């Protein structure tokens, strides 16, 4: 009797997990604007990929690669279509996602009593690739580290500049 109850709970947990994966995949499936992309930077922002395919990445502190459920994630899924970020619900709570518009990153600003220097293009590239802020602090999960080429990073930075105009 004990084993059969345990088996029922295990199957139930498995079914809930599978359904949950489909729900999360649908919510964070890399939405894109209607039609084609105006630039490679916009394509990367909306899909996490170029015409050549997905850009490899890992998740902060997790070692998860850009496959499976995380493979559908793109910048837009957390930072939003306008790049302003905000509070995003995750599986085990919510996370405050920063505003990544170039107009915000490239100016000195104060946050919680601390002054943060303006980011340079090199700082933004380092954050995208290595998950490191200009002061050397690591960006927190769930920010992925992207294996982008110099051209891809430049395209994304150009797109962040476009977002600033909106």
pLDDT tens-place string over residues 44-66? 999 999 999 999 987 654 444 44
Return the H-helix or E-strand segment holding 2: helix 2-27
* CA count, 13 A, side-chain hemisphere, 74: 25
What's the token pair of residue 116?
């943060």
Q: At what angle do helices 150-164 and 40-47 cross, to 10 degrees?
A: 90
Structural domain total, the chain: 1
User: Minimum mean pLDDT among 7-16, 17-26, 83-92, 129-138: which range?
Assistant: 17-26
On the question of pLDDT at 142 being above 50, the answer is: yes
pTM here is 0.71
Q: Which residue range forms the structural domain that includes residue 94?
A: 2-164
- Residue 111 bridge partners (DSSP): 114
Return the H-helix or E-strand segment holding 52: none
Query: Any idea which residue has 């490191």 for tokens?
Result: 132
């Amino acid at each position: 009797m004990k084993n059969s109850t345990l088996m029922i709970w295990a199957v139930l947990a498995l079914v809930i997990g599978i359904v949950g994966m489909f729900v999360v995949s649908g919510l964070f499936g890399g939405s894109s604007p209607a039609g084609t992309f105006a630039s490679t930077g916009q394509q990367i922002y909306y899909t996490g990929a170029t015409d050549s395919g997905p850009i490899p990445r890992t998740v902060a502190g997790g070692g998860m690669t850009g496959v499976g459920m995380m493979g559908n994630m793109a910048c837009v899924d957390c930072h939003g279509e306008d790049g302003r970020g905000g509070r995003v619900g995750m599986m085990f709570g919510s996370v405050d996602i920063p505003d990544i518009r170039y107009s915000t990153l490239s100016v000195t600003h104060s946050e919680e009593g601390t002054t943060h220097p303006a980011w340079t293009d090199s700082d933004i590239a380092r954050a995208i690739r290595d998950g490191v802020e200009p002061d050397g602090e690591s960006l927190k999960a769930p920010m992925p580290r992207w294996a982008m080429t110099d051209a891809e990073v430049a395209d994304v930075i150009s797109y962040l500049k476009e977002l600033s105009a909106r």
